[in-house]
Amino acid sequence: MCTDHPVFAGPAKNGGWRLGIWVQPGARKTEVAGLHGDFLKIRVQARAVDNKANSALTVFVSKILGIKASQVVIESGHASRQKNLLLDVEEEPDWKVFSEKALGKP
């Protein structure tokens, strides 16, 4: 297991990984937008109505990481832009998929 994970990610207590996400709903397109403090900022096209932005977020993160949408769960922040996601995975994800910009590297 790699110990060089990005600031927005860390191992969860019961296995898997926890991600700190800052969501911007109602964006022009769904994309990783870089860092917002210690959170990974993700813009989603879906509006924050009827749980649509939350659903779009979990689907987007699952596609980026190549895992099932059911393996991405919003642990906290359902009604907030600041969310904690739990990834139900055995192996550490490849953080490079979030892009060099998102990881804060030059």
67-80 pLDDT tens trace: 999 999 999 999 99
SS in 3 state form for 34-92? EEECCEEEEECCCCCCCCHHHHHHHHHHHHHHCCCHHHEEEEECCCCCEEEEEECCCCC
Q: Which CATH superfamily is domain 9-90 in?
A: YggU-like (3.30.1200.10)
For residue 74, what are its two tokens? 């919003």
Could you tell me the pTM of the whole model?
A: 0.89
The tens digit of pLDDT for each residue in 29-69 reads 999 999 999 999 999 999 999 999 999 999 999 999 999 99
Would you kindly state where each structural domain of the chain is located, as residue ranges? 9-90
